[in-house]
Amino acid sequence: MLNIVLFGPPGSGKGTQAQNIIEKYKLVHLSTGDMLRAEIAGQTELGLEAKKLMDKGELVPDSVVIGMIENKLAGNKEAKGFVFDGFPRTVAQASALDDLLEKYGNPIKVVLSLVVSEEELTRRILERGKTSGRADDQNESIVRNRVVEYRTKTEPLASFYAAQSKLVNIAGEGSIEEIFAALSAEINKHS
């Protein structure tokens, strides 16, 4: 089973590249951002609570996203592998994911970390904000808050995965095709 984590700051291209990876390698895409936005669109209780935090650029509680991922893993037992996009975002989420995958005997093979400068992240997100309708894409101070959340809560995961010898840095600036080629070269070492 090929389990991959796509790691990087908001706007680094995780969602964009996850789409290319699942098509090429026939894997299942698990994006916690997409799952939360589906809950918001469905106006569920979970979605309404998550929206309050997401609109401010803050992370939603670990227990919420871990529960969502657990359900998706249980519902996709025949998958050839998963691309985790935007999850894990905290050390607690990463530990929970390791425990869940251990149950299935299929640990994470590689963590691909997209490296993009802060100016480029802000530029991309504000550009997307012109059409995405996402409140968290439209205001520079919210975008900056997302980056602060990333630096304080998510970036420490890089050492968590480096300690497991799973972290690979990929230059995340350049054309989508060039970045996809670099990601594919790494994935091919594991497939």
Residues labelled as active-site residues: 14, 89, 128, 134, 146
21: contact with ligand B4P by CB under 6 A? no
68: contact with ligand B4P by CB under 6 A? no
**Strand arrangement, sheet containing 82-85:** 28-31, 82-85, 4-7, 110-115, 167-171
User: Least distance to ligand B4P from the beta carbon of 4, Å?
Assistant: 14
Pairing of the two strands 28-31 and 82-85: parallel
| DSSP state string for 127-185 | HHHHHH--GGGS-HHHHHHHHHHIIIIITTHHHHHHTTT-EEEEE--S-HHHHHHHHHH
Say which DSSP state 49 is in.
H
59: contact with ligand B4P by CB under 6 A? yes
51: contact with ligand B4P by CB under 6 A? no
3-class state of residue 101 by DSSP: helix
124: contact with ligand B4P by CB under 6 A? yes
65: contact with ligand B4P by CB under 6 A? yes
- CA gap 23, 185 in Å, rounded: 15
User: Least distance to ligand B4P from the beta carbon of 67, Å?
Assistant: 11
32: contact with ligand B4P by CB under 6 A? yes
Helix (H) or strand (E) holding 114: strand 110-115
47: contact with ligand B4P by CB under 6 A? no
x/- mask, ligand B4P, residues 151-170, rule CB under 6 A, reads --------------------
12: contact with ligand B4P by CB under 6 A? yes
- CA gap 32, 86 in Å, rounded: 6
3-class state of residue 81 by DSSP: coil
* From 89, 97, 147, 157, residue interacting with ligand B4P (rule: CB under 6 A): 89
Please report, as ranges, the residues that interact with ligand B4P according to CB under 6 A.
8, 10-16, 32-33, 36, 53-54, 57-60, 65, 86-87, 89, 93, 124, 128, 136, 146, 176, 179
